[in-house]
Amino acid sequence: MQYTWNDIEQHVAACTHCPLSRTRCRPVMGRGSHEADLMLIAEAPGGQEDRQGLPFVGNSGEILDSLLQDCGLSREEIYITNIIKCHPPGNRDPKEEEKEACFPYLKYETFLLKPQIIVCLGRVATQRIISPDFKITRQHGTWIRRKNCVLTATYHPSAILRDPSKYEIAKADFCKIVKKRSELKFV
Ligand code: URA
């Protein structure tokens, strides 16, 4: 059976597949254009996102918006989601079993969207999606080709909040992403 965006959203809203469903305020489904060629995958909703049920509405969302704006991108033309849809208490790293329980939702989102470019934000998303050995500090901004899309990774906006010197590095990565996007449009 082929799920629709609406089906996925409803499943996420009612999900009880892991214990985070008992501590979450609201699950956070991905947001953005369902026609986007560019998909950003981050880690998990933070506290603000948990309260509002939307991705990247807190401090790290401001950093993300600024990076997007600096490279001429807007949230409306891309799709942003997380590896897990519920907030881990205290912003701890998601546990393996939580990532596995939530993975089908990300798979459906990716299947429906069929992005040409996937950008992983931060270690947790990158090591789950690209490779467990991937090191952001050494390999950010490099490209990996998979069947129907190319993938890259850069710093998570919350890492930039902790160390603002990473902003320019992430901005350069986003500018490479914009360049890659226009190259892919002409092949
Ligand atoms: N951090 C994330 O990884 N995702 C969000 O949606 C917000 C903060």
Among protein residues, the one with the nearest Cα to ligand 1's atom 3 is 43
Residue 122 backbone phi and psi in degrees, to 5:
90, 170
- Which value, to the nearest 10 degrees, does the dihedral of the CA atoms of residues 142, 143, 144, 145 take? -170
**What mean pLDDT comes out for the span 150-178?**
98
**170 touches ligand 1 (CB under 6 Å):** no
User: What's the whole-number mean pLDDT along residues 5-9?
Assistant: 97
- Is 42 close to ligand 1, i.e. is its CB under 6 Å away? yes
Q: Could you give the 3-state DSSP secondary structure of residue 178? A: helix
Cα–Cα nearest to 152, from 110, 175, 121, 181: 121
**Average pLDDT in the chain:** 97
- Asked whether 94 lines ligand 1 (CB < 6 A), one says no
H or E segment to which residue 29 belongs: none
Which one is predicted more confidently, 147 or 128? 128
The answer, yes or no, to whether any atom of ligand 1 lies below 6 A from the CB of 30, is no
14: number of Cβ within 10 Å: 9
Q: How far does the centroid of ligand 1 lie from the alpha carbon of residue 1, in Å?
A: 30
Q: How far apart are CA 132 and CA 173, in angstroms?
A: 21
Report whether pLDDT(91) > 80. yes
In whole angstroms, give the CA distance from residue 100 to residue 86: 13
